[in-house]
Amino acid sequence: MDVSTSFNAAAMLDSLAGIVGPAQVITDAHDIEPYVTDWRRMFGGPALAAVRPADTAQVAAVVRACAAAGVGIIAQGGNTGLAGGAVPIAGRAGPQIVLSLARMTAIRDVDPVGMTMLVQAGCVLAAAQEAAADAGLLLPISFGAQGSARLGGVISTNAGGVNVLRYGMTRQSVLGLEVVLADGSVVNGLRRLHKDNAGYDWKQIFIGSEGTLGIVTAAVLRLVPRPRERGTALLAVPTPEAALALLARARGALGDGVTAFELISGRSLRIVERHFGGSAGVGGSAGVGDAPWFVLMEAAGSIGGLRAAVEDMLVGAIEAGEATDGVLAESETQANALWSLREHITDAEKAEGPSVKHDVSVPVADIPAFLAEASAAVAAAHAGAWVNAFGHVGDGNIHFNVVIPPGMAPHAVNHTVHEIVARFAGSISAEHGIGQYRIGELATYKSAPELALQRRLKQAMDPDGLLNPGKLLPG
């Protein structure tokens, strides 16, 4: 339909209020702000309203009303993303709403025998982790924003995080989904089955599709046994090569007990110290001497002797020169303080000024060469910029963020880094997704047949292009 001539905003708002109640249709300029702007204040644009349904039936009714009027729908969870996928695009034509899942927070059940849990899309990740822990189990999805990220968003972006190396991306933790399709129909696939080969595994197309194919309203998640012991260590390492040697040593000694292996540049820790040095539990490199690089690693297990095995492994690493210094946490509190250092890097970077994010992955063995080449290229081409590199080195995923001086064009910096990523046959978005931030670059770095295939999927699922318009797929 031609919305430019026939669209009646007041009637649309009335009809939305009729579905969710007037108090849940937010239009006031001040109140709508947190829904239409991302937390870094980099992305955002106008929306007719932020609409907050209470349940799946209301989501479906809102989608049907929007579909009938040609109104775009941006599904939003905790709005913690880094690619602008959950907020409007500035200057985009056509009416759209933000559909917030924030009221749908229920944890319907935890099954300790089948090791599953059933949650609504608005459930905060940390709340689901706690419910799993109360049942003696672990929901193995973990990242810095877990206190505000909501599971619908976690699933829709196939979030990564610090435990991917042991437990996989979010995709590996999803057994069943309930989704609302573009026409407002509800598909309930909330099965608690660990095995189900009866036809296409359709839930996979929604996981990581950033709300462009359907809206996730509930999920069955796979839980795992909760390890009884964990060993957390911060190590100073001389080079990224040494970090990879240490990873091989840790896996040799501890097998799949290695649950996290994060590489942190010395500069990343120094900015955490500068901005959060005084905060409780966050300070410097926790007694480990200064170094060009650090590794924060964690191992976990339940059969006893884990700590001693980690200790032996660390002694061996220091003897071999793979690490020059290190601290093995003596208590839960100290372990949490080490993680707190890691989790404050993003906020410390924000406090440093504007930065150009690169959430890249390359084959794990190529990480040292990638870091050397990309750092040299940034230094040569962008005077005054500096690299804040850290990330999930065990997955080949580095956040190669570049803090830039005022006035420097971000796109030129993106180009410098992503050309090197392409040379290593890497990805320009390892875990944060495409959203609106990476959409231009996707057209450059994905092959034409891959893009054509994705467009066919989009056309089949959302022929009118109303689900998260303008995101993920270049037009």
As a dihedral over the C-alpha atoms of residue 35, residue 37, residue 43, residue 45, rounded to 10 degrees, the angle is 80
* Least Å from the CB of residue 85 to ligand 2HG: 14
Least distance CB 354 / ligand 2HG (angstroms): 13
Q: Which is nearer to ligand 2HG, 267 or 399 (CB)?
A: 399
Phi, psi of 225 (to 5 degrees): -60, 140
Question: Applying CB under 6 A, does 56 fall inside the site for ligand 2HG?
Answer: no
**Minimum distance between the CB of residue 358 and ligand 2HG, rounded to whole angstroms?**
8
Q: Rounded to an integer, what distance in angstroms lies between the CA atom of residue 317 and that of residue 319?
A: 5
Q: Which is nearer to ligand 2HG, 162 or 180 (CB)?
A: 162
129 binding ligand 2HG? (CB under 6 A)? no
Q: Is 344 in the site for ligand 2HG (CB under 6 A)?
A: no
Q: How far is the CB of 367 from ligand 2HG (least distance, A)?
A: 15
Strands, E assignment, 126-228: 137-138, 174-180, 186-189, 215-222, 224-225
Rounded Cα–Cα distance for residues 405 and 451 (Å): 35
To ligand 2HG, the closest distance from the beta carbon of 226 in angstroms equals: 23
Backbone angles phi, psi at 112, to 5 degrees: -70, -20
Q: How far is the CB of 238 from ligand 2HG (least distance, A)?
A: 23
**Which CB atom, from 420 or from 430, has the smaller least distance to ligand 2HG?**
430
433: contact with ligand 2HG by CB under 6 A? no
336: Cβ contacts below 8 Å, ≥ 6 apart? 281
Can residue 267 be called a binding residue for ligand 2HG (CB under 6 A)? no
Nearer to ligand 2HG, 203 or 399 (CB): 399
Mask for 135-174, x = binds ligand 2HG (CB under 6 A): --------xx------------------------------
Total residues in contact with ligand 2HG, by rule CB under 6 A: 8
CB 217, CB 101: distance < 8 Å: yes
**Which residue type, as a one-letter code, is found at position 184?**
G
Please pick, from the candidates 401, 414, 436, 454, the single residue that binds ligand 2HG as defined by CB under 6 A.
401
The per-residue DSSP string of 250-316 comes to HHHHHGGGEEEEEEEEHHHHHHHHHHHTTSTT--TTTTPPP-SEEEEEEEEESSS-HHHHHHHHHHH
- Please give the structure tokens belonging to residue 38: 């991302």
What is the crossing angle of helices 367-381 and 410-423, to 10°? 150
Residue span 377-396 as binding mask against ligand 2HG, x where in contact by CB under 6 A, dash where not: --------------x-----
Smallest gap from Cβ 277 to ligand 2HG, in A, equals 19
If the CB atoms of residues 301 and 391 are measured against ligand 2HG, the closer one turns out to be: 391
Residue 15 gets the label, from left (phi > 0), alpha (psi -120 to 50) or beta, of: alpha
Contact flag: residue 357 with ligand 2HG (CB under 6 A):
yes
Minimal CB distance residue for ligand 2HG: 346
**Is residue 399 close enough to count as binding ligand 2HG by CB under 6 A?**
yes
* Of 24 and 401, CB closest to ligand 2HG: 401
Per-residue tokens: 9: 């905003």
Q: What are phi and psi of 238, to 5 degrees?
A: -75, -35
Least Å distance, CB 401 to ligand 2HG, is 5
Per-residue b or e along 242-277, where b marks 16 or more CB atoms closer than 10 Å to that residue's CB: bbbbbbebbbebbeebbbbbbbbbebbbbbbbebbe
Closer Cβ to ligand 2HG, 144 or 176, answer by number? 144
Q: What distance in Å separates the CA atoms of residue 228 and residue 221, rounded to the nearest whole number?
A: 21
Beta carbon of residue 262, minimum distance to ligand 2HG (angstroms, whole number): 8
Interface contacts to ligand 2HG, rule CB under 6 A? 82, 143-144, 346, 357, 391, 399, 401
